[in-house]
């Protein structure tokens, strides 16, 4: 009974596990609980589908950003220039 209770999670927890799963940071147990929840919860099911689509889109877009160290260097260079 206790185990059964543990298997069922609420919508908030399901949203958290779903986000973690997008970054491969959900444990097997969390993934299982999530799957179980979205079988019975329509809202979380549709959220999960959307969330996964976003992950796919981000991967497909092959996004790039400036590395943080380069950003910091550029920032101080620029601030120096502005200061003069």
**Which positions lie near Zn ion, rule CB under 5 A?**
11, 14, 41, 44
Q: Which of 19, 36, 41, 45 binds another protein (CB under 8 A)?
A: 19
Out of 2, 5, 42, 65, which residue is the one contacting another protein (CB under 8 A)? 65
SS3 content of the chain, % helix, strand, coil (to 5): 80, 0, 20
19 binds, among another protein, Zn ion, none (CB under 5 to 8 A by kind): another protein
Tell me how far the alpha carbon of residue 56 is from its chain's centroid.
12
Long-range CB pairs of 49-56, under 8 A, 24+ apart, other chains included = 51/18, 51/19, 51/22, 52/22, 54/22, 55/22
With CB under 8 A, what is the number of residues at the site for another protein? 31
Which spans of this chain sit near another protein (rule: CB under 8 A)?
Answer: 15-16, 19-20, 22-23, 25, 50-51, 53-54, 57-58, 60-68, 70-71, 74-75, 77-79, 81-82
């Amino acid at each position: 009974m206790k185990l059964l209770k543990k298997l069922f999670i609420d919508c908030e927890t399901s949203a958290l596990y779903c986000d973690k799963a997008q970054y491969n940071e959900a444990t097997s147990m969390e993934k299982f609980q999530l799957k179980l929840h979205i079988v019975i919860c329509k809202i979380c099911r549709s959220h999960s589908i959307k969330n996964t689509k976003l992950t796919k889109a981000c991967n497909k877009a092959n996004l790039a950003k400036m590395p943080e160290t380069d950003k910091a260097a550029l920032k101080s260079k620029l601030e120096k220039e502005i200061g003069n």
